[in-house]
Amino acid sequence: MSEVLQEKIAQLIERVADKASDSKGGITRLLYSKEWLDTQMELKKIMEEEGLITYFDEVGNLYGRIQGNKNPEETIMTGSHVDTVINGGKYDGMYGIIAGIVALSQLKDKYGQACRNIEVVSFAEEEGSRFPTVFWGSKNFLGCGDKEEVEHIQDGDGIAFTDAMHKAGFEFRNSSRDKRSDVKAFLEAHIEQGNILEMERKEIGIVDSIAGQRRYKVEVTGTANHAGTTPMEYRRDAFYATSKMISNILDKARAYGSPLVATAGFIEIKPNVGNVVPGKAEFSLDIRHTDEEFLKKYTDEIVLFMNETAKECNVEVDIHMWMDESPVQMDKEIVACIEKVCVDRKVNYRVMNSGAGHDSQLIAKQIPTAMIFVPSRGGISHNPKEYTAPQYLEKGVEVLVDSIYQLAYK
């Protein structure tokens, strides 16, 4: 049975991957693209083959449903997002959808009709890879998708969001319709996208919190000048000041240790010429922690340091925080439910936080939510080399099945 289930999961992942394979050997499935629509329609077909009732909502979220009997006004939901980054992998997002479909099929075959409805969802978008918006699928599911946020935006090719949506056959959510109140729990299965489980040789991760994020755009302005004739003490070197800022910020993060992470992933120097003192530098900061007070404390510290460094180096600095997402705690009862399933199954697991963002971080603010992680080989994600071994894919489905059983059948 184990090999049969592993093969089924792997085959379904390959089946949908074929709908969006790109020329660079990866998967590119951007919101409302042909590849996106082909994949959603293929998932709809798979859901129906497994005996699920299927439907789309207005914006393109796809649902597969098993109707409950005793409490048909209540729903237990699982799933994840269908979209990818450009040249991404086969598992990010998609594993949670396939795991949900397989889990519902197994529950139906083994236990029959549940007390509550069970649904798997393929959220339309989470990544922000095509348009400058994120979580479009789960935002609309929660009733907070903002039409004004997207109706005037375009992708990199100048295609308007609304035109792409209409071409794919979808529309804005009807704002007069009440948001769903029937969903009593949400479970998201996902690849870890890190290497903690692999390094610690764990089969399953149970996520009890998702890290908050603060992201910054920092501009440092000095004076571009001749590299040979400008004495060191008279320079207004934007790159020198920037290097001191970044080095201190990362050193401080290392000293504090996990779960704090700080990343300066982008930097641009102008004029970027070998014999000219840099007059301008721009860099990014991505700061994450699971404790909101600590996140604020650390970011206040580094903002103060950047201002002090700018003064010391006789340059100007403009610090713009463009993202401020609070940490989100998962539901303690659902986490305990998954943990009991792992103990009963003798699964080698650990409770952990997620440093990456997920649909669950939005959903958890309105609906009791938890996540199940499976190991990622090498911690690689958002990359064609993304891979999770079949035995871990299977283990995630088994834990998901038993967890949904506890929530939907009892």
Annotated binding-site residue numbers for Zn(2+): 81, 92, 127, 190, 382
3-state secondary structure of 210: strand
**8 A C-beta contact, residue 13 and residue 41:** no
d(CA 62, CA 167): 17
C-alpha pair distances (Å), 22 with each of 37, 44, 195: 15, 22, 26
Do 276 and 226 meet the contact criterion of CB atoms below 8 Å apart? yes
d(CA 312, CA 342): 55
Amino acid identity of residue 370, one-letter, is A
DSSP designation for 345: H
The annotation places the binding site for allantoate at: 215, 275, 288
* Cβ count near 305 (within 10 Å): 15
Cis peptide before 384 (omega within 30 of 0): no
What's the rounded Cα separation, in Å, for the pair 350 and 357? 19
Number of H helices, E strands in the chain: 12, 16
At residue 112's C-alpha, the angle toward residues 108 and 115, to 5°, is 105
- Residues 356, 376: contact at Cβ < 8 Å? no
Instruction: Specify binding-site residues.
Output: 81, 92, 127, 190, 215, 275, 288, 382
3-state secondary structure labels for all residues of 61-113: CEEEEECCCCEEEEEEEEEEECCCCCCECCCCCHHHHHHHHHHHHHHHHHHCC
Closest CA to 347 of 400, 410, 404: 400
Q: Which residues contact 112 (CB under 8 A, 6 or more apart)?
A: none
Residues 202 and 391: beta-carbon distance below 8 Å: no
3-class state of residue 193 by DSSP:
coil
CA triple 141-184-178, angle to 5 deg: 40
